[in-house]
Amino acid sequence: MISSIRIILSLGSFLLLFISSTTAKTSFRPKALVLPVTKDISSSTPQYVTQIKQRTPLVTVNLTVDLGGGYVWVNCQHGYVSSTSKSVACGSAQCSLFGSSSCSGDKVKLCGGFPSNTVTGVSTSGDVRSDVVSVESTDGNSAGRAVTVPKFLFICGSDVVQKGLPKGVTGMAGFGRTKVSLPSQFSSAFSFSRKFAICLSSGTINSKGVIILGDAPYNFGYLNSDISKALNFTPLITNPVSTAPISSLGEPSYEYFIGVKSIVISDKEVPLNKSLLSINKNGVGGTKISTVNPYGILETSIYKAVSKAFVKAVGVKTVSPVSPFGTCFTQHEIGSTQMGPAVPDIKLVLQNGVVWDIIGANSMVQFSNIDVICLGFVDGGSKPKSSQVGFIPMTGDQPTTSITIGGLQLENNLIQVDLARSRLGFRSIFSDHSNCANFNFTSSV
Query: Which x/- pattern, by CB under 6 A, does the window 329-358 give for ligand NAG?
Result: ------------------------------
Distance, CA of 269 to CA of 61 (rounded, Å)? 46
Of the candidate residues 12, 57, 91, 168, the single one contacting ligand NAG (CB under 6 A): 168
Which listed range, 154-162, 269-277, 325-333, 355-363, lies at the site for ligand NAG (CB under 6 A)? 269-277
Cβ distance to ligand NAG smaller for residue 123 or 138: 138
Helices (H) and strands (E) in the chain, counts: 9, 32
3-state secondary structure at position 96 = helix
CB nearer to ligand NAG: pick between 323 and 442: 442
Contact with ligand NAG (CB under 6 A) among 44, 56, 338, 444: 444
CA angle 177, 179, 182 (to 5 degrees): 75
Residues listed for the chain: 445
Question: CA 26, CA 152: separation in Å to the nearest integer?
Answer: 13
Applying CB under 6 A, among 77, 84, 142, 336 the residue interacting with ligand NAG is 142
Under the binding rule (CB under 6 A), the answer on residue 62 touching ligand NAG is yes
Backbone angles phi, psi at 333, to 5 degrees: -80, -15
CB of 304 to ligand NAG, least distance (A): 12
Taking CA atoms, 26 is separated from 29, 139, 190, 313, 434, in Å, by 7, 17, 10, 56, 34
* Cα separation, 119 vs 388, whole angstroms: 7
Cβ count near 198 (within 10 Å) = 26
Q: Is 275 in the site for ligand NAG (CB under 6 A)?
A: yes
Q: Binding to ligand NAG by residue 273, rule CB under 6 A? A: yes
Of residues 65 and 95, the one with the C-beta less far from ligand NAG:
65
Nearer to ligand NAG (CB atom), residue 276 or residue 361: 276
Q: Which residues contact 67 (CB under 8 A, 6 or more apart)?
A: 175, 176, 198, 255, 256, 289, 290, 291, 292
Is the Cβ of residue 10 or residue 273 nearer to ligand NAG in the bound state? 273
The verdict on 82 binding ligand NAG (CB under 6 A) reads no
Nearest distance, CB of residue 329 and ligand NAG, angstroms? 29
Give whichever of 37 and 149 is closer to ligand NAG, judged by the CB atom.
Answer: 37
Q: Of 110-118, 180-188, 333-341, 436-444, which part binds ligand NAG (CB under 6 A)?
A: 436-444
The reply on whether position 262 binds ligand NAG by CB under 6 A is: no
**89-97, 273-281, 407-415, 425-433 -> range binding ligand NAG (CB under 6 A):** 273-281
Residue 3 vs 442, nearer CB to ligand NAG: 442
Strands 102-104 and 346-350, sheet pairing: unpaired
Q: What minimum distance in Å lies between the beta carbon of 100 and ligand NAG?
A: 28
Least Cβ distance, residue 358 to ligand NAG (angstroms): 23
CA distances from 204 to 42, 229, 340 (A): 10, 28, 18
The minimum distance between CB 38 and ligand NAG, in angstroms, equals 6
Radius of gyration of the chain from Cα atoms? Answer: 23
Closest Cα partner for 30 from 184, 139, 142, 132? 139
In the complex with ligand NAG, which residue's Cβ is closer, 369 or 442?
442
Q: Which of 67, 276, 289, 403 lies at the binding interface for ligand NAG (CB under 6 A)?
A: 276
When asked if residue 440 is in the footprint of ligand NAG (CB under 6 A), the reply is: yes
| 172 lies in the binding site for ligand NAG (CB under 6 A) | no
Interacting stretch for ligand NAG, rule CB under 6 A, among 114-122, 252-260, 272-280, 337-345?
A: 272-280
Using rule CB under 6 A, residue 60 touches ligand NAG:
yes
Q: Are strands 72-75 and 143-157 parallel, antiparallel or unpaired?
A: parallel
For residue 5, give the 3-state DSSP assignment: helix
Q: Considering the complex, what minimum distance in angstroms separates the CB of residue 47 from ligand NAG?
A: 11
DSSP state for residue 360 in the 8-state scheme: H
- Rounded Cα distance between 229 and 432, Å, is 13
Which residues, in sequence order, are CB contacts of 81 under 8 Å at separation 6+?
55
DSSP string, 296-349: EEE-HHHHHHHHHHHHHHHTS-EEPPPTT-S-EEEHHHH-EETTEES---EEEE
Residue 132 CB, nearest approach to ligand NAG (Å) = 17
Q: How many residues bind ligand NAG (CB under 6 A)?
A: 10
Q: Please say which residue, 286 or 360, places its beta carbon nearer to ligand NAG.
A: 286
Binding positions for ligand NAG, rule: CB under 6 A:
60, 62, 142, 168, 273, 275-276, 440, 442, 444
